[in-house]
Amino acid sequence: MSADIQIPDENDPGRLWRLASRLSAIAVLAALLMLLSGTGLPPLMARFILLIGLIILAAVLLRGKYAKFFSGPAAYVATASLLVLVVLAIFAAELSPQNPYDLRQLDIMDGRQPPGSTNFDKTMTFHLGTDEQGRDILSGILYGLRVSLSVSLVATLMAMVIGVVVGIYAAWAGGRIEAILMRIVDFQLSFPSILVALMLMAAFGRGLDKIVIALIIVQWAYYARTVRGTALSETRKEYIDAARGLGLPAWRIVFGHLLPNCIPPLIVISTVQVANTIVLESSLSFLGVGVPITQPSLGLLIANGYGYMLSGQYWMSMYPGIALLAIVAAINMVGDRLRDTLNPRLSR
């Protein structure tokens, strides 16, 4: 167990990988921040950085376990679909035929056209039809995909950070603090997430920032519980005692030993959690308490088209629905493979 105490070694082949993963993680976060705030590098460049960073992170994660991960056709299909969908979401603005939220590009005369029809002056084809305001459904889906993915990704990441901090703190502090924190966690987890989120959104009102906050509040307890469990079993192990005995400061033990051990189960959980969050967000948006009308997610697109479905104009709801199913199923399947690859003991 003492071998777990890492000594920086120039010849360690894992060193390069660790460096790569850290750099790409920072790049991904920076790119995300720039895109969300609209400052810094030009958007196209930031998007490329984001995509490449994500791919490197995935490669680092699966290093040496590709064979196990790709153990069947489903794994290939899921990974390929996920990759395609993520690319579509990142480059939504560049790829979509129309900016569906630029009112100058819309013509109410093109409203509710079936798939394959062309616009009034025959300059573009609506491959998936249009909605009641003459918006191209395909463009709407690409933009909606981006909203859905980024909302849940950001919410999951932030919830994870909060959960990790609380979980490790509880495990490290022990005693009363731990008991109180875990009581709060239990209390929150005893209510279905949709109910909590619904109440929060009812209180906050619609809005991108508000739904992100609501989704964070709904999720953090889940991570806190998991992290505390792992951290607790780690703190009992000998090498932590050894590290303490060596007089290492607390933060080094936490960041050097506790955190790395909590990461693999967290990655598996958070992958699946991103999918769950997308579903939750879309449900809230469907109920009318989610994202604002000006930035519709897939769920809101489905809700908008719902009224026309019974009259046979299915495409307004159906195609966004298929996109939603595709992204959620792809993430869930990749998560399922990840669970088997990284941590076979962990099961739903």
Partner 1 sequence: MLVFLLRRLAQSVFVLIAMMVVVFFGVYMIGNPVDILISPDATPAEIEETMARFGFDQPVYIQFLKFVGNALQGDLGRSFVHGEPAVQLILSYMPATLELALLGLVFSVAIGVPLGVYAGYKADRWQGRAIMTGSIFGFSLPNFWVGMLLILIFAVELRWLPSTGRGETVAFLGMRLSIFSSDGLQYMLLPALTLALYKASLVTRLARAGTQEALMQDYVKFARAKGLSETRILFVHVLKNIMIPIITVLGLELGSMIAFAVVTETVFAWPGMGKLLIDSITTLDRPVIVAYLMLTVLIFIIINFAVDVIYTLLDPRVRVRGEGV
Pick from 203, 246, 250, 293 the residue near partner 1 by CB under 8 A: 203
Q: Tell me which residues in 264-283 interact with partner 1 (CB under 8 A).
A: 275, 279, 282-283
Q: How far apart are CA 54 and CA 90, in angstroms?
A: 11
Interaction between residue 306 and partner 1 (CB under 8 A): yes
| Amino acid, res. 222 | Y
Sign of the Cα pseudo-torsion (334, 346, 279, 227, in order): negative
Least distance to partner 1 from the beta carbon of 329, Å? 4
**Residue 5 or residue 346: which is nearer to partner 1 going by CB?**
346
Q: Number of residues in contact with partner 1, rule: CB under 8 A?
A: 41
- Under the binding rule (CB under 8 A), the answer on residue 344 touching partner 1 is no
The verdict on 328 binding partner 1 (CB under 8 A) reads: yes
Residue 332 C-beta: closest distance to partner 1, Å: 5
* Residue span binding partner 1 (CB under 8 A) among the ranges 30-38, 166-174, 186-194, 238-246: 186-194
Considering only CA atoms, which of 140, 131, 137, 106 is closest in space to residue 307? 131
- Which of residues 240 and 298 has its CB atom nearest to partner 1 in the complex? 298
Angle of helix 315-342 relative to helix 137-173, nearest 10 degrees, comes to 30
Among 172, 263, 314, 343, binds partner 1 (CB under 8 A): 314
Options 8, 42, 247, 312; binder of partner 1; rule CB under 8 A: 312
Q: Tell me how far apart the alpha carbons of residues 211 and 203 are, in angstroms, rounded to a whole number.
A: 11
Binding mask 94-133 for partner 1 (x = CB under 8 A): ----------------------------------------
Contact 63, 15 (CB under 8 A): no
Smallest distance from partner 1 to CB 5, Å = 36
Site membership for partner 1, residue 202 (CB under 8 A): yes
Write each residue from 140 to 179 as x if it is in contact with partner 1 (CB under 8 A), else as -, in one continuous string: ----------------------------------------
- Of 102-110, 115-123, 126-134, 332-340: span binding partner 1 (CB under 8 A): 332-340
The verdict on 347 binding partner 1 (CB under 8 A) reads: yes
CA-CA distance, 187 to 111, in Å (whole number)?
A: 48
> Distance between CA atoms of 101 and 114, rounded to whole angstroms?
20
Tokens of 139: 């463009």
Sheet strands (E) in the chain: 117-118, 125-126
Dihedrals phi, psi of 125, to nearest 5 degrees: -105, 135
Q: Which residues contact 120 (CB under 8 A, 6 or more apart)?
A: 107, 109, 110
DSSP 10: T
Q: Which of 192, 249, 260, 307 binds partner 1 (CB under 8 A)?
A: 192
Q: Whose Cβ is closer to partner 1: residue 109's or residue 325's? A: 325
CB 305 within 8 A of CB 60: no
* HSE value, Cβ hemisphere, 13 Å, CA-based, for 149: 25
Please enumerate in sequence order all residues whose Cβ is within 8 A of that of 38, keeping only pairs 6 or more positions apart, or say none. none
Chain residues that interact with partner 1, rule: CB under 8 A:
72, 74, 187, 190-192, 194-195, 198-200, 202-203, 275, 279, 282-283, 286-289, 299, 302-303, 306, 309-310, 312, 314, 317-318, 321, 324-325, 328-329, 332-333, 336, 347-348
